[in-house]
Structure 1
Amino acid sequence: MNRIAAFIQSKVSLLTKGKSRTVKAKKNILGSILIKGGSILISLVVVPLTIDYVNPTRYGIWLTISSIVGWFSFFNVGLTHGLRNKFAESVSKGDTESGRMYVSTTYFILALIFFSVWLIFIFVNPFLNWAQILKVSEDMRREVSTLAVIVFTYFCLQFVLKVINTLLTADQQPAKASLIDLLGQMISLAIIAILVITTEGSLVNLGLALCLAPIVVLILANVYLFKGKYRLYSPRISAINVSESKGLFNLGFIFFIISIASLIQYQSANIIIARSFGTYEVTSYNIVYKYFNILGMAFGIFLSPFWSASTDAYLSNDIQWIRNAIKKYLFLIVLLVFGGIGMLVFSPQVYDFWLKGQVEIDFILSVWGFIFFISFMFGNLFVNFLNGISALRIQFWCSLISPFVYVAVAILLIRYFEMGLKSLFIASLVANFNGILVAPIQYYLIIYKNRKGIWVK
């Protein structure tokens, strides 16, 4: 018994060794492993349950509408990313007043923007022929239109309410932000399970199940945290100061452009597929994406504290900590590559068990999905570091080019080389030249060669 107690004590002590940012990261990684594990499990259960409820084609409609509506996320003008850096700086310096100003201003601007955009959409939506846009049966027009309103309302609300997740992540507590998302997923899963038993397949019911629960959880999280832990930073009308938030907007604008590039690359895939191959293939592509995104989510659990921790380390000129962290993350990627190879080898059996034979997946599509996510993890590591220290200029210029590269390569491979669904993964690889090539070089020049100028701006 004493040996067991000693073993447990030794493992617990590992969490408290190292610098404060390291200890914080370790605790959040441990918490995130448990929380993200639950999130991954729920996401895997939801897919076959949802397909069983509405069928693969209708599920493809849900995914496509979500992608189209997701385009409007660029209206957050990068403010949440800018807030993440500015809030982390304020907490690091103990500047409560500036922190509250940035939080209040961000809530105000996002609420103003998304309420205006929502009103415009509500006015325009009755004139949109969603059946024609998605190339589905005309008798589904009303149902799809109603679904679009539900999804759009959800997106607008969550972009304002998720500011609380940004604060938690900036404060190096991403595990708590993940917990908020997990609670919303759990409730949605329970509602869908009830719908499967009690109702016929309905896109409207599906939309309500997947959108309503997360919003309720976010509202409760905002109230709870601003009454407690972040009471000193709670948004107030008197603290709104647009003119004094120049740094937030400048940083936010750069993140805005970068976000647009990412949005075009990842959200347009479903639209391109729906237009080129039909909504059934949207489901096929997303099955592969969700399956290998397990690798991305696993890596994200460990990477999530790094952005804000690198902000703190760089401000403290703790370069050695950054070097050590990058080396550990690269080793983790190598381990995940081996895990991904196992996932790839057994993917046909997993798909068959997971989806009960409802969707057929080409093995070559899985190969490209695996390659994409390995490259994504590698690039994301260096991009996260550069985001944390606000070294965004080079990424900004790359982001102006990458969307055109992505769309051009995707269309070229689909129309002229007839390479099918894998074209989307290949196009993503080519368009991600910043993450795969440029960002690692920029990191090396900053950390190992102490270059300044354009490299750190």
Structure 2
Amino acid sequence: MNFSLALKGFLNQGNARTLAAKKNVIGSFMVKIISMAISFVIVPLTINFINPTQYGIWLTLTSMVGWVSLFDVGLTQGLRNKFAEALAKHDIHLARIYVSTTYFYISILFTAVWAVLVVANSFVDWSSIINVPIVMDSEIRMLTSIIITYFCLQFIFQIIKTILISDQKSAKASFIDLIGQSSSLLIIWLLTVFTEGSLIFLGLGIGVMPVLVLIIANVYLFSTSYKKFVPNFKLVQKKYRNKLMGLGLKFFMLQLAAMIQYSSSLFLIARYFTPVDVTAYNIAFKYFLILQGVFMIILSPLWSSSTDAYFSGDYDWIIRAVKKYLLILIPFVFIGLVMLFFADQFYDFWLGKGVVNIDYKISIFSFLFFLSGMFASIFVNVINGIGALKIQFYVSIVTSMGFIALALVFILVFDLGVWSIILASIISNVYGYLIAPIQLYKILVVRNINSIWFK
């Protein structure tokens, strides 16, 4: 009873913005725990359905096709800020214009992208690009077409999740993902029972259900709680597209930098090492992603809450929030060290002893990568919410190119292992853990609105 009263008191303490953040954190936490459990079940199930080499091929292809997200040109991220800004000003009509405009242009963009990529795919020599036997070329070409199709459909229909997150309902967005993920798990399990290992079946099993869930979520939400924001072709306006892209193009560049790092990492490993090494890298990545995943649940309301607080002039709320998140980060450091110490034992328990051999250095640098990323995300989320992206924009141009150069130097000149690619990523993320804290101090404390820090 005392715990129940304490929890109720915690949930009801604070202003409306803080209360919404607390409820989303708790809701997202419950959903994310289940989601992470499913993710950990899917990996060994998938590897057993195919094999470690094919799983490495799957990871490489999905990361490369993931580059289609760049054709979003920042529209959905622009919507996230502009929708929250319109709600903060109680302008429902403007919010609906932003929603309608985003759906219209994203649909056109990704339909065109799908057509071009499916045609181009038939001319690509995949066996030489990702270092696999030529006999697999036709299978990989078909798999790539499947991946391209469901990626493009996802980017159209997942706009509804951006709306939910912007409206400080990130728990609902996470729940949509959970339903799609659970459906994929069921399909993969059925495949292991009734079919032989196949990359084509895997692609269909993982891709179809999440897209179907997103379509259902769009129909349901726009028929009920978000009916007043339902997209309308008559509300599509080019000038609002430009407003979305004005902010969105900066997000696009930041998204490009992140894509270069992750996708290029898998490609470099497949190219200069082996597909099995891609699997080893991804296993360590997923293991330490647990740490960041839990932290990001707690952090998830900060972006949209910062947008609301900033445009409401409540700078002190943002400062208090940042300090609280820095304190919350401390126990994650110690938990991460424990995870690192028991990493090898966990891999054997998770996948089976000897199924995939993972260099301990990969685990060490994966831990450092996520630790530095969690620290950086506190400051970057606030800055993204405020929309002061100019410095981050220019730094990302340099660091994204610098990452590839640094990784190639480590591999080709110093003959270092897979772990060196993670080290190159850590060094390249200098904006988040070094420059962003300085920028946020300048914005919230110094408050010289004419300086570059505010732009």
TM-score relative to the length of structure 1: 0.98
CA–CA separation in structure 1 for the residues paired with 2:75 and 2:162: 10
CA–CA separation in structure 2 for the residues paired with 1:435 and 1:302: 18
- The question of whether the paired residues in 1 share the 8 Å contact of 2:118 and 2:148 is answered with no
> Aligned partner of 1:433: which letter?
V
CA–CA separation in structure 1 for the residues paired with 2:431 and 2:158: 27
Question: 2:370 aligned with 1:370, yes or no?
Answer: no
> Aligned partner of 2:175: which letter?
L
- The question of whether the paired residues in 2 share the 8 Å contact of 1:91 and 1:99 is answered with yes
Instruction: Give 1:416 shift.
Output: 1.1
- Give the counterpart of 1:401 among 398, 402, 418: 398
Partner of 1:173: 169
Partner of 1:61: 57
Question: 2:227 aligned with 1:231, yes or no?
Answer: yes
Instruction: Give 1:455 shift.
Output: 0.9
- Give the counterpart of 1:326 among 307, 322, 344: 322
- Give the counterpart of 1:439 among 436, 439, 446: 436
Instruction: Give 1:245 shift.
Output: 3.5
- Partner SS, residue 127 of structure 1: coil
Aligned ranges 1:9-24 → 2 under 5 Å: 9-24=5-20
Change (3 A) 1:390 1:284: same
CA–CA separation in structure 2 for the residues paired with 1:335 and 1:450: 32
What's the CA shift string for 1:206-260, capped at 9, x where partnerless?
Answer: 0011111100000000001001111111101111111244321201111111111
- Give the counterpart of 2:421 among 398, 412, 424: 424
Partner of 2:4: 8
Return 312-321 or 7-16, whichever deviates more: 7-16
CA–CA separation in structure 2 for the residues paired with 1:254 and 1:197: 47
Partner of 2:295: 299
CA–CA separation in structure 1 for the residues paired with 2:263 and 2:295: 21
CA–CA separation in structure 2 for the residues paired with 1:414 and 1:58: 24
Instruction: Give 1:131 shift.
Output: 1.8
- Partner SS, residue 452 of structure 1: coil
What's the CA shift string for 1:59-85, capped at 9, x where partnerless?
Answer: 001000001101121000011110000
> Aligned partner of 2:378: which letter?
L
Instruction: Give 1:418 shift.
Output: 1.5
Return 310-319 or 210-219, whichever deviates more: 310-319
CA–CA separation in structure 2 for the residues paired with 1:60 and 1:320: 47
Return 203-212 or 249-258, whichever deviates more: 249-258
What's the CA shift string for 1:116-166, capped at 9, x where partnerless?
Answer: 011111212111122222111111111111110111111101111110000
Question: 2:141 aligned with 1:145, yes or no?
Answer: yes
> Aligned partner of 1:348: which letter?
D
Aligned ranges 1:260-409 → 2 under 5 Å: 260-357=256-353, 358-409=355-406
Aligned ranges 1:96-111 → 2 under 5 Å: 96-111=92-107
CA–CA separation in structure 1 for the residues paired with 2:60 and 2:6: 50
For these two proteins, the number of residue pairs brought into alignment is 453
Partner of 1:202: 198
CA–CA separation in structure 2 for the residues paired with 1:233 and 1:157: 21
Instruction: Give 1:315 shift.
Output: 1.1
CA–CA separation in structure 2 for the residues paired with 1:173 and 1:199: 39
- The question of whether the paired residues in 2 share the 8 Å contact of 1:405 and 1:430 is answered with no
CA–CA separation in structure 2 for the residues paired with 1:11 and 1:122: 52
Instruction: Give 1:441 shift.
Output: 0.5
- The question of whether the paired residues in 2 share the 8 Å contact of 1:382 and 1:439 is answered with yes
CA–CA separation in structure 2 for the residues paired with 1:255 and 1:11: 37
Return 415-424 or 383-392, whichever deviates more: 415-424
CA–CA separation in structure 1 for the residues paired with 2:215 and 2:193: 29
- Give the counterpart of 2:72 among 68, 76, 85: 76
> Aligned partner of 1:439: which letter?
A
> Aligned partner of 1:161: which letter?
F
- The question of whether the paired residues in 1 share the 8 Å contact of 2:280 and 2:358 is answered with yes
- The question of whether the paired residues in 1 share the 8 Å contact of 2:88 and 2:311 is answered with no
- Partner SS, residue 448 of structure 1: helix
CA–CA separation in structure 2 for the residues paired with 1:178 and 1:424: 30
- The question of whether the paired residues in 1 share the 8 Å contact of 2:98 and 2:240 is answered with no
CA–CA separation in structure 2 for the residues paired with 1:137 and 1:396: 40
Instruction: Give 1:194 shift.
Output: 1.0
- The question of whether the paired residues in 1 share the 8 Å contact of 2:101 and 2:240 is answered with no
Return 29-38 or 355-364, whichever deviates more: 355-364
Aligned ranges 1:119-138 → 2 under 5 Å: 119-138=115-134
- Partner SS, residue 359 of structure 1: coil
Identity of aligned residues (%): 47
| Structure 2: stretches of 5+ with no match in the other structure | none
> Aligned partner of 1:387: which letter?
N
Instruction: Give 1:7 shift.
Output: 3.7
- Partner SS, residue 269 of structure 2: helix
Question: 2:442 aligned with 1:449, yes or no?
Answer: no
Instruction: Give 1:350 shift.
Output: 0.2
What's the CA shift string for 1:85-124, capped at 9, x where partnerless?
Answer: 0000111111111111110110111110110011111212
